[in-house]
Every structure is written in C-alpha cells, then in structure tokens.
C-alpha cells in the first residue's frame, strides 16, 4: 500500500506538464517573453495571486504562491501591462516585446488603505510592520494546503498551536497550552457568538473553506480584543463585505475529499464590482462519515454542515464599507462513552450573523477610522438518540440560545510629537445566553462589557522603537435562571485594566528582535462558577466553584527573527504567570449515577513557560528545507506544586519541499514525545511519529487552478493525542488519510 501511494504521488508530479495548459498556444510563436515578480512596495514581499493583463488583449496570468509570473509568445511591439490585486493600487507598466528576447520585469505595487485593512488581522491597530510578539498569517494557497474539516485540525502542528479534539467537527486550536476563552477565535476582528470556548464538544461556527485569511497571534492580546485574550488570538477573515476598489467579476470554486472519514466538501464564492458598489455571495457544504483509525472506526464522529453569505459593499472617495448576512448550520456526532453504549449524542447548531464595517479617511490629526460590528443569533441543541425496544427515540436534553453583539470603533492619528502613528478606540460586547433542558448543568448568563483602549508607538530611531498601550473594561455579568437552577441571582460587576509595553529593535539588515510585557484580567465564566451536573456531550460530570476569583495574568514574550537570503529563522520564548488560574481538574472520582468522571473547577497560582523555534533553508531556489519545535510546561506554584492538566508535549517537525513554480512535491515528519508530566488523576500518553507527503499542480488557463494531493499519517501509526477529550483517550487518533483538493481562482 505504501509503495502504491508513493507511486501515485510521483506519477502526479511527473505528469504535471501534460496537465498544464499553455496560454500562448493559440498565438503566433514570437518567443517574446516577460517574467518576474510582483512586489509589495511597502514591505518588499512577493505577492501571490495578483492579476496581470496586457491592455487591449485577453493575454494575462496570475502570480503564483511565490509572487512569480511569466507571459510567453507575446505580440511584438509596445504594450501596457495592467497589474491588479485586492488591497493594492492598480499599476500600469509600459514595455516593448521583442521577438526572440525574454525580459525580466519586477513589478512594484502600492498598498491602498493598508493600515485599515490590517486593523483586524494583526496584533497592531496601525499595522506599522513592527512586531512585538510572534504571529503568523495564512492566505490563498497556504490555506488550501492545510484544508481540513475544522480550524483545529487546520492549524494543529503550527508553531505553538496544538488541538483540543473530540472528533473532527469540534476540534479547536490551543495556543501555548491555553484553551477556552483564554484563546479568542474572531471573525473579521469581532467575536463570533458561538460557544466553542466553553467545552470540548462545541465547535467553531464557521467552515474553514469560508476563510480567505487566517492570522494567529501567540501571546497576550487583551489590549485590542478584551480582557480574556490571555493566550492569543485567531482571527478568521472572510471577504463577505466586498469593499475593495476592483472592477469586474472574480471568484473561487473549490472541492475537497478525504478518505479517513469519507469526507466531501464544496465551496464557491463570487464577487461582482461596478464602482462604487460591489456584491458578493458564497456557499459551502461538507459531509463526512465516522473517523477511521488503525483499529477501526470511531462511532458517532460523522458530520455535515453548510455555510453561506450575501454581502454588499461600497468604495467611494475616502469611504468604504458594507454589510453582510450569513447563515450556518452544523450537525455532528460525538464519540460514544463506555457507560452509555446504548445512547448516542449529536449536536445540532444554527447561526445567523449580520456584519458591518465602515472605513474612512479625512484631513486632520485623526485621519483614519473604522467602525465594525457583528450581531449573531445562535441555537444549539444536544440531541440524545436511543432505541428502547427497537424504537428510535430522539430527545433534546440540553439547549443553548445565544444572542451576541460585538462592536469596535477605532481612530488613528498621524505621527505627532514623540509618537508615531497611533490608535485609540472603544468596544462594546453583550450576550444573552439561555441554557435549558433536563440535562442543563449550568444556568444561563447575561453579560455586558464596555472597553476603552489606546495603542501608541514611540520611534527612538530608525531601528529601535517602543510600544505602549492600556485598556479599561467595565463588565457586568449575571446568572440567568432556568428550570434546574431556579435560585441563582448572583451578579458580578468588575472594572478590569490590562496593558502592554513592547520593544522592537532591528540591529542589522534582516534581523528583528522584539519583546512584550503584558497584564491581563479574566473574569470567571458562568460555567466555571455554577456548573453542577452531567455534561453528556463532553462525557464528564462538572462541578463549579462560586468562590473563584478573577484571573490575573502577567506575561512576557521575547522573539528574535532573521529573514534574508536563503535562510529564515525565528526563536520565541514566553513566561506567563497567573494568579487565581482557573483549572479544569480531573478529581479521579466517578459520579455513581451517570458513570462519568468528575471534573472540578479550581483556582490556584500557576505558571506556564515555553518557546518555539523554526528554521527554513533554501539550498537552491526550488528546494526548501524546514525544521521546528515547540514546548510548553505548566505547573501550579501555589498549593501542591503539581502539573497542570492538558498540557501539550514537546514536538519536533521537519519538512522538505521541491517547488518548480508550476507544481511541487514535499514531505513532513513530526515527532511528539511522551507526556508524563501530568496532573494528578490525568493519564500520560506515549510519544509517536507521523509521516506525510504532499504534491500539487498549478495551472494557469481561464484563471488560476491549484490541485493538491496530500497523505497524512502515511504509515498508519497508532497514537493517542494528549489533548484528546475522548473518554480516557480510549480511541486512537485518525489513521492514514488521503486528501484531494481543487481550487479555481477566476
């Protein structure tokens, strides 16, 4: 079987030339060619997926993932090359095509409204380009290569990012050992309104195919996004609001399939612009069966979902913005629990969302601004399916109804006095969560939070600058009674403050050193305070603690980065010290009535330390070698000096890729060590190694086509992940998987 898989990969790679259509076949052979790169004039980076068109003709192409382009057999004579791309000014370049000559022309394009675009996708509201903590973004082909059924699976294995898993659908990212609402998952810079942060059986309410850009910020980000962003932020950016200045019609069509769970998915998006208005639409559908492991299928892990949106945007003068409305639905199963083999649990979720955004520019000190909002309605039911006496019975044991409003207004000012471009703003967040049903193990919650923040940079020289910011939040939280918790009426009011101080230094060309010290403040959520009962979907009995105090975090991040020539390197380290750190602690006891293990919420002083290292090397232009590792250690330092639960083990990975522009072939090796630094009553997990292969084709005819074939866990390794929330990790992780993906950009 392994030899057959390797043969198929080699066959795909060898036959790429036969699949690639030549866009110049229908033109006379002149051998007048041009090639080069499209370069961001602001950063010097090569830009992928930029449209190029010879004016007055239908001759054109799209830059590949490395920003490279080539046009062959051009008509001899003078031409104008039009260069267009989202977020960049349209550029026109004149040149002369000469028979039997090949010209190299690098094309620089100017970013437009770059700061406002970057407000929602970086750790800085001014997008100055100076970093104070490690981050990474994924766009275009990068996202397609990582395409999975959930964002947890997609980002798992990136530096500092692991995955909390309970099947494919509810998989959610974990950053540096922190989970739950310490990690904010945002949609276009605002909170999504789902409940994925509350428990391992709840999913992120957006399909990965809908995201056009994903940004991961590792480390405290409370300054911009609220007091609970202690561990980091994952921002999922869609293009549902088409407010760029391009004119015409463009879109994406994508299909994906996988063997490990017989998964199939399709996605389409189209945008039509006619200055100053633009409209967009997207839709995706995904369906999968049970996950297969080397020892068989995991029952109850099937899934299906849909996700669609309609958007309207405008771009007129110094104003741009728009609205979008989206609908999403998910239905997925959860792995069975040994004590309840006669009962199956499924989750049915629906979400409707209205998003808006307005950007403007004006003269004066405060010359740029943005207002954005996200209003959502989410309905989620926990279904219990059984067959007493052979009759199928479905009951709703637990229901969540959540209405959420999240909004941020930001003003940017020009450089003034000792300050570079800076920002100040305010945010509003409110939600109303109703929890009902006979299995309700917690009351509902009402929350209202208002925040004020400012972010400033002080350039001490061209190579050294400081960053400072502070945020104040006023928060009111109250419990909402239901049929199980009828007497709760406790309300909490809090004034929280968080701040950060950062340094960025560029001592030599291609070198960057950065660091940040930050204070964060997190209030206990309603589940941590009041939970008392069986959480059937998660397979645990939860015990809350009304004596929990606010969680205070003091963190430090440091990184050093080199990027020049054939080498890219980054080393990042961190220390996070928490007072009243809230721990979801296994007690070792079992609830007699349900048979589920009892987990209790406890507060203690704790510290997490660790780091990440990554290195990329190009010995020749087409060959890229990479290696990386990440590590985190978490311990209580108050009572007991014990290890924290659910801390990911040390991981090491190596990659190799040979990229010829029109196609590539690559491989990945990942080794995870044994995790025996476990909390009391937590089971250790053994180390394992995984091997993967990938191959891809890029075609340029009537748009840009990308075909990707990927094999995960090629050797069908049996392993258990330490962050798996399946009961006692009694199921293996997925076995060998062949994933085929196709995407057409037009």
* Spatial CA neighbour of 284 closest among 252, 262, 237: 252
Q: Rounded to two decimals, what is the model's pTM? A: 0.83
Q: Quick check: helix, strand or coil at residue 544?
A: coil
User: Which pLDDT band holds residue 137 (cuts at 50, 70, 90)?
Assistant: confident
pLDDT tens profile 489-538: 778 888 988 888 999 998 988 899 999 898 888 889 999 999 999 998 88
Lowest mean pLDDT among 55-59, 230-234, 387-391: 387-391
Q: Distance between the two ends of the chain, CA-based, in angstroms? A: 37
Q: Which of 223, 169, 228, 219 is nearest to 196 (CA)?
A: 169
Q: What is the pLDDT of residue 491?
A: 85
Q: Give the angle 145-147-148 at the CA atoms, nearest 5°.
A: 145
pLDDT at res. 509: 84
Residue 247 pLDDT more than 80? Answer: no
Percentage of the chain beyond pLDDT 70 is 89
* Residue 719 reports pLDDT greater than 70: yes
pLDDT level of residue 703 (50, 70, 90 thresholds): low
Decide if 575 contacts 607 (C-beta within 8 A). yes
Residue 257 has pLDDT above 70, yes or no: yes
Q: Could you read off the pLDDT of 206-227 as tens digits, one per residue?
A: 999 999 889 888 876 657 777 7
One-letter-per-residue 3-state SS of 409-448: EEEEECCECCECCEEEEEEEEEEEEEEECCCCCCCEEEEE
Residue 655 has pLDDT above 60, yes or no: yes
Q: Tell how far CA 608 is from the center of its chain.
A: 22
Across 11-31, average pLDDT? 47
Judge whether 696 and 688 are in contact, CB under 8 Å. Answer: no
Q: What are the tokens at 656?
A: 């190799």
Residue 724: DSSP 8-state: B
* Across 603-621, average pLDDT: 94
| Rounded alpha-carbon distances, angstroms, from residue 262 to 209, 293, 295, 739 | 17, 13, 17, 10
Q: Which fold has domain 31-111?
A: Immunoglobulin-like (2.60.40)
Confidence (pLDDT) at 209: 93
410 and 125 Cβ atoms separated by less than 8 Å: yes
Give me 432's structure tokens. Answer: 């109303």
Average pLDDT, the chain: 86
- Lowest-confidence range among 106-110, 452-456, 680-684, 706-710? 106-110
Distance CA 235, CA 218 (A): 12
* Position 714 pLDDT exceeds 60: yes
pLDDT, greater one: 271 or 63? 271
Q: What is the pLDDT of residue 344?
A: 84
* % of the chain residues with pLDDT over 90: 52
**580 pLDDT higher than 90:** yes
Pairing of strands 597-620, 540-543: parallel
Residues 160-179 have a mean pLDDT of 91
Region 6-23: what's the mean pLDDT?
40
Say whether pLDDT at 22 is over 70. Answer: no
CATH architecture, domain defined by 234-414+426-487+496-745:
Beta Barrel (2.40)
Query: Which pLDDT does position 338 carry in this prediction?
Result: 47
**C-beta of residue 219 within 8 angstroms of C-beta of residue 574:** yes
Mean pLDDT value across residues 136-156:
88
Name the residue ranges covered by the structural domains of the chain.
31-111, 234-414+426-487+496-745
Per-residue pLDDT band for 85 (boundaries 50, 70, 90) equals confident
pLDDT value for 25: 42
What would the pLDDT profile of 23-58 be if each residue is shown by its tens digit? 444 456 778 889 888 887 655 667 877 888 888 777
d(CA 208, CA 254): 12
In angstroms, how far is CA 726 from the centroid of its own chain? Answer: 23
Cα 26 from Cα 650, distance rounded (Å): 55
262-271, 332-341, 372-381, 666-675, range with the lowest pLDDT:
332-341
Q: What local confidence, expressed as pLDDT, does residue 584 receive?
A: 93
Q: Region 250-262: what's the mean pLDDT?
A: 94
pLDDT over 80 (residue 610): yes
Average pLDDT over residues 558-568: 88
Beta strands 491-505 and 464-480: pairing type?
antiparallel
Which position has the higher pLDDT, 706 or 88? 706
Q: How many residues does the chain have?
A: 746
């Amino acid at each position: 079987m392994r030899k057959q898989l390797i043969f198929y990969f080699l066959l795909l790679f060898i036959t790429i030339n036969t699949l690639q259509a030549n866009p110049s076949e229908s033109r006379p052979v002149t051998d007048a060619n041009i090639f080069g790169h499209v370069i961001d004039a602001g950063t010097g980076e090569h830009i992928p997926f930029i449209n190029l068109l010879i004016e007055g003709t239908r001759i054109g192409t799209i830059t590949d993932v490395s920003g490279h382009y080539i046009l062959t057999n051009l008509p001899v004579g003078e031409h104008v090359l039009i260069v267009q791309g989202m977020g960049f000014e349209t550029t026109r370049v004149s040149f002369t095509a000469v028979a039997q000559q090949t010209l190299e022309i690098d094309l620089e394009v100017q970013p437009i409204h770059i700061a406002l675009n970057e407000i929602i996708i970086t750790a800085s509201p001014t997008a100055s380009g100076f970093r104070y903590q490690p981050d990474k973004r994924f766009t275009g082909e990068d996202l397609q290569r990582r395409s999975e059924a959930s964002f947890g699976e997609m980002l798992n294995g990136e530096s500092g990012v692991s995955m909390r898993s309970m099947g494919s659908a509810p998989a959610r990212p974990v950053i540096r050992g922190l989970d739950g609402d310490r990690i904010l998952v945002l949609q276009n810079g605002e909170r999504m309104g789902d409940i994925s942060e509350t428990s391992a059986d709840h999913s992120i309410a957006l399909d990965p195919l809908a995201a056009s850009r994903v940004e991961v910020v590792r480390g405290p980000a409370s300054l911009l996004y609220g007091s609970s962003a202690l561990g980091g932020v994952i921002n999922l950016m869609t293009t549902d609001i088409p407010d760029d200045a391009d004119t015409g019609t463009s879109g994406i069509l994508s299909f994906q399939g996988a063997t490990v769970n017989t998964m199939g998915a399709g996605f389409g998006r189209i945008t039509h612009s006619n200055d100053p208005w633009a409209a967009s639409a997207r839709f995706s559908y995904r369906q999968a069966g049970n996950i297969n492991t080397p020892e068989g299928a995991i029952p109850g892990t099937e899934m299906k979902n849909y996700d669609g949106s309609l958007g309207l945007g405008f771009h007129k003068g110094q104003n741009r913005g728009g609205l979008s409305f989206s609908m999403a639905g998910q239905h997925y199963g959860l792995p069975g629990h040994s004590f309840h083999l006669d009962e199956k649990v499924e989750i049915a979720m629906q979400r409707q969302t209205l998003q808006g955004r307005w950007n403007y520019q004006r003269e004066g000190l405060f010359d740029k601004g943005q207002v954005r909002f996200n209003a959502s309605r989410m309905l989620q039911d926990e279904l219990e399916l059984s067959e007493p006496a052979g009759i199928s019975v479905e009951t709703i044991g637990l229901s969540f109804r959540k209405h959420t409003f999240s909004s941020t207004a930001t003003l940017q000012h020009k450089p003034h006095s000792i300050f570079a471009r800076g920002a100040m703003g305010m945010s509003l967040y409110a939600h109303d969560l109703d929890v009902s049903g006979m299995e309700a193990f917690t009351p509902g919650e009402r929350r209202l939070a208002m925040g004020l923040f400012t972010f400033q940079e002080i350039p001490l020289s061209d190579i050294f600058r400081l960053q400072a910011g502070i945020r104040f939040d006023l928060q009111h939280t109250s419990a909402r009674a239901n049929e199980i918790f009828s007497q709760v009426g406790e309300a909490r009011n809090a004034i929280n403050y968080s701040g950060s101080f950062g340094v960025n230094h560029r001592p030599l060309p291609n070198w960057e050193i950065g660091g940040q010290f930050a204070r964060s403040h997190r209030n206990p959520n309603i589940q941590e305070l009041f939970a008392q009962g069986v959480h059937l979907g998660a397979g645990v009995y939860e015990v809350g603690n009304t004596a929990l105090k606010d969680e205070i975090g003091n963190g430090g991040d440091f990184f050093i980065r080199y990027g020049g020539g054939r080498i890219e390197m980054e080393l990042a380290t961190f220390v996070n010290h928490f007072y009243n750190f809230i721990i979801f602690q296994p007690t070792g006891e079992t609830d007699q009535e349900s048979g589920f293990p009892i987990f209790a919420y406890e507060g203690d002083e704790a510290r997490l330390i660790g780091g990440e290292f990554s290195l990329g090397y190009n010995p020749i232009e087409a060959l890229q070698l990479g290696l990386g590792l990440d590590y985190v250690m978490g311990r209580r330092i108050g009572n007991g000096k014990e290890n924290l639960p659910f801390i990911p083990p040390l991981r090491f990975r190596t990659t190799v890729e040979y990229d010829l522009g029109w196609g590539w072939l690559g491989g990945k090796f990942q080794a995870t060590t044994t995790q025996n630094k476990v909390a009391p009553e937590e089971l250790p997990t053994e180390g394992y190694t995984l091997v993967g292969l990938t191959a891809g084709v890029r075609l340029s005819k009537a748009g840009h086509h990308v075909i990707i074939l990927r094999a995960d866990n090629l050797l069908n390794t049996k392993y258990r992940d330490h962050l798996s929330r399946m009961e006692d990790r009694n199921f293996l992780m997925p076995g060998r998987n062949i994933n085929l993906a196709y995407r057409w950009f037009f």
